[in-house]
Amino acid sequence: MKNIELFHKKSNEYKAKADQYRVKQNRLALIRLIIFIASATLICILANMRLLSYLLFAVPLSVAIFGFALSRYNKLKDLAARFSRLQQINDQEILRTENQLAAFPEGQKFLDRNHPYLADLDIFGSHSLFQLLNRTTTGSGEERLASWLTAPASEEVIVKRQAAIRELTPKVDWRQDFQSAGMAFSNPDSNWTALRNWSREPVQLLPQKRKYQAIALILGLLAIGSAFYFAQHLLDVLRLTAPFSILHAIPLGVSLAINGLVLKKLKKITLAISGQLHRSVAILNGYEALIRQVESTSFETDPLHRLKAIFKLDNFSAAAEISKLRKILDVLMQRKSKDPVGGNAFYTILNQFFLLDIHWVLLTESWKNKNGHRFSEWADAIGELEALCSLSGFAFSNPRYAFPELSDQSFDIHLETLGHPLIHPDKRVCNDFDLHGAGSVAIITGSNMAGKSTFLRTLGVNLVLAFAGAPSCISAGRVSRMQLFTSMRTQDNLEEGVSSFYAELRRIEQLLKLAETEQSRVFFLLDEIFKGTNSRDRYKGGISLISQLSKLHTFGLVSTHDLELARTAGIHIPVQQYSFSSRIKDTTLYFDYKLTYGLCRDFNASELMKKSGIKILPELEPAS
């Protein structure tokens, strides 16, 4: 069975289960309503008949039956939601398999246009590699995956990631359950970094814990005592045994005023916690659910063993510790982030008497004191697992892709059946490519639209995948670990007053500085060099740049449709010549997108101009 057929099968199965549980849920909702009406009717009848003994039996029984029905209803609701998420996950896998990526997050916040290659290779943005790979549900997972795509890992790390991905790839059900657990609490507006930053901040009340506990206890007892004192006076007034006197309310007023001053003094601290963490309960729910999924399974490879061990340090469960903080924040969030009146009124009243803020702030700071330094480790470990599962899902959806071997040579690329993973398999044309040795330069010539730029991006994207530890769109391959650099989409910048030619010069300057200072190898991809200037300067500058690069700690590809530049460079510099060709049949252009050795022999610009309505003049002699 093809993987896309498996995804269709699982989607249909999960949809059927979700629909089944929704039917049961709706049926139970009706039964619950009947139970409520019947219980209320029975209690009213027994109360009217003053059958106290029966009433004492009927009330708890009715509450128990209704509570059981409610519990069962919530369980069915959770099951229906779980199977709906699993259906959605498989529907998303189908879309990714068909390269329909518009509905997925683009990761634009990770795009840095000054980065060595991000802006040229569609790593982030519309129809991007990030959209194809990303199956994360947490902020730390999304950031971890993005970081893997923006810098090459060390050879040791690449090998470990490959081992972990190989183990996780066939575990389809576990990976989807893991993703579903996080999806239940995923919120694009959540800010997990606020939670991380809070966990690293120093505690404030905890060093004086006994003092604040004593304040809360004494002032709480005084408030309750003064309230009872005033309540007793009101009872005497109602019994007509004493006249009403405002003096009896003074102790209560003074007590509440003092409590109010204490709460006001603590307001900055409590608002800081509730303000920073008011969206963190869902984040904590997500991490707790994901960690429980990890704790419930076993792994074989060392990288996955190491990650799982992080959640069981010092003989306690990270999921249980996170659950404690989540429950504390559940209560503390009742006061809302800024205005207690807008929160839970019951909490506000109790807080005024018992100084609940002190109690809950001390609990949060106690948790932070114990686990704050661990929380970043837990979030990072979950992020790494989510990133590994993302690459494993990509590997499972593309079983023909292969992990390139890491070469023991310094400057080495050998890729077989190389294709672009963002092009649909039915339209994808694959090529083989080799380049070896320091200073090696391959020049690719070809007519317009023949595939030069796409091939450069194909090579770049697959190297990004390889250096992240993922399989590449190849049948086999071998690569050296190196720093990738591209100059392909240089554009005018009106705001900065920069022309496309000057923008390209700045990229070339960036490349030369990198090549002169980078300790590791640099592999460059330069598309249509110096296209923004006249032919003479392009010819002179292009050959000079290729010569300079061939003498540095670099190797790479240069594409151009300037045939003279490529021919002359081949005479003076030891370069490899490749080309893409086109053919014209009955005024129709055909491209095979196959990479061939040697210079391009045919160009199609004039024919394309004709098809655009331009009346091409007969052969013209250039001005002398």
Give the pLDDT confidence of 238-248 residue by residue, as tens digits. Answer: 877 878 788 88
The average confidence (pLDDT) of the chain is: 87
State residue 178's pLDDT score: 96
Residue at a domain's end among 397, 426, 449: 397
User: Does 86 share its domain with 208?
Assistant: no
User: Does 346 share its domain with 445?
Assistant: no
Tell whether 49 is covered by a domain. Answer: yes
Beta pairing, strands 522-527 & 483-487:
parallel
Range of the domain at 54: 1-98
User: Does 558 share its domain with 459?
Assistant: yes
User: Does 449 share its domain with 581?
Assistant: yes
User: Does 199 share its domain with 343?
Assistant: yes
SS3 content of the chain, % helix, strand, coil (to 5): 60, 10, 30
| Burial environment of residue 622 by CB neighbours within 10 A (0 to 12, 13 to 18, 19 or more) | exposed
Q: How many Cα atoms are found within 13 Å in the side-chain-facing hemisphere of 448?
A: 7
Predicted confidence band at 23 (pLDDT cuts at 50, 70, 90)? very high
CA distance 349 to 355: 10
* Contact status, residue 296 vs residue 177, Cβ threshold 8 Å: no
Predicted confidence band at 505 (pLDDT cuts at 50, 70, 90)? confident
AA identity, residue 310: I
Tell whether 624 is covered by a domain. Answer: no
The tens digit of pLDDT for each residue in 385-412 reads 999 999 999 999 999 999 999 998 889 9
Cα–Cα nearest to 148, from 126, 165, 173: 165
Tell whether 249 is covered by a domain. Answer: yes
CA distance 26 to 46: 30
CA distances from 557 to 28, 217, 444, 455 (A): 66, 75, 7, 10
Tell whether 617 is covered by a domain. Answer: no
Predicted confidence band at 301 (pLDDT cuts at 50, 70, 90)? very high
Residue at a domain's end among 46, 79, 98: 98
User: Does 374 share its domain with 463?
Assistant: no
Average pLDDT over residues 105-115: 92
User: Does 390 share its domain with 412?
Assistant: no
CA distance 463 to 453: 16
For residue 530, give the CATH number of its domain: 3.40.50.300
**Which tokens is 371 given?**
């686990």
State residue 492's pLDDT score: 47
* Contact status, residue 432 vs residue 578, Cβ threshold 8 Å: no
Tell whether 577 is covered by a domain. Answer: yes
pLDDT at 529 > cutoff 80: yes
Domains identified in the chain, total number:
3
**Which tokens is 426 given?**
């039915």
